[in-house]
Each structure stands twice: as C-alpha cells, then as structure tokens.
C-alpha cells in the first residue's frame, strides 16, 4: 500500500476524533445545569463599602474621644462632606477605622440620619451631572 494513503487515512481518523470530541464537549456544556449565584453573593461594591464606612465613622461618639482626636475626626468628616470619601488617604481611613473600633456607638444612640436624595449624598455625588437640578424641566426650558 502506498505510504501517502496510510498517512492520509491516519490524519483523517485523527480529524474525525477531534471533531467528535468537540461535539461531545459542546453537547455536555449545553446540557449542564446552570449555577446561578445570588445577587452580590461574594462581591460588595466600593460604593457600598464606602457608604458603610462613612456611616460607621459618623456614629463615633465624639464626647468620649480625646480632644485632639476629636478635632481630627471632625476635620476628616468635614473633608468627606466637602470633597468626598475618595479624597482620604489610606492613613486617614485607618485612623477613622481605629477610632470607630475603639469608640463604638453608645447604646441607644443612632448615627445621624442620611438624606435619601442622591444629589445631596456627600459620599458619592453625581460626578457626571446626570441628575438635573431640582425644579428644572427636561430640555432646558
């Protein structure tokens, strides 16, 4: 028999095996049950983490903190209100976290209420200007 004929038959058989395996894998993937995760089951967005941190820092009872630390906490919270939470350095965030851990909120006291309107949210203001000013109509008229 011709050598070239045997090589051609060998490559043909190999190609048939590769195609059959690809079809089988595709079939198994299509009929595998889907696994659907719960929303946010393993991931918490930076926005939510920042909002939780801001609420935790706002709940620090300033009357139980030393006056030097109290002034620093007030200054950092004012900076968050003015510029946003992203302007804090990692050392400032660590300081506020330590103060919140060392001075838990007093029982029966609640953190100051946050206004529900997103345009007044100091943690994440609308950076792109998608929110129209209050009282304005669409179309600019």
DSSP per position, 112-138: PPPPS-GGG-SSS--TT--SPPTT--T
Q: Which residues contact 58 (CB under 8 A, 6 or more apart)?
A: 77, 111, 112
Q: Are 87 and 79 in contact (CB under 8 A)?
A: yes
- The pTM score is 0.50
- Looking at the chain, the whole-number percentage of residues with pLDDT higher than 90 is 41
In whole numbers, what is the pLDDT of the chain averaged over residues?
80
Q: Over 90: is that where the pLDDT of 40 sits?
A: no
Q: What is the mean pLDDT of residues 121-128?
A: 54
Choose the weakest-confidence range: 17-26, 49-58, 85-94, 98-107: 98-107
| pLDDT confidence of residue 58 | 92
- The confidence band for 131, taking pLDDT boundaries of 50, 70 and 90, is low
* pLDDT band per the 50, 70, 90 thresholds, residue 80: very high
């Amino acid at each position: 028999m011709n050598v070239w004929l045997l090589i051609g038959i060998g490559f043909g058989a190999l190609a048939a095996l590769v195609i059959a395996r690809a079809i089988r894998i595709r079939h198994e993937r299509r009929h595998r049950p889907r696994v659907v995760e719960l929303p946010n089951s393993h991931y918490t967005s930076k926005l939510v983490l920042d909002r939780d941190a801001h609420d935790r820092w706002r709940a620090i009872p300033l009357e139980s903190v030393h006056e030097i630390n109290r002034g620093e906490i007030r200054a950092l919270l004012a900076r968050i209100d003015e510029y946003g939470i992203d302007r804090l350095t990692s050392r400032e965030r660590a300081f506020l976290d330590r103060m919140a851990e060392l001075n838990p909120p007093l029982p029966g006291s609640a953190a100051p209420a946050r206004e529900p309107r997103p345009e007044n949210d100091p943690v994440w203001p609308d950076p792109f200007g998608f929110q129209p000013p209050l009282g304005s109509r669409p179309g600019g008229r």
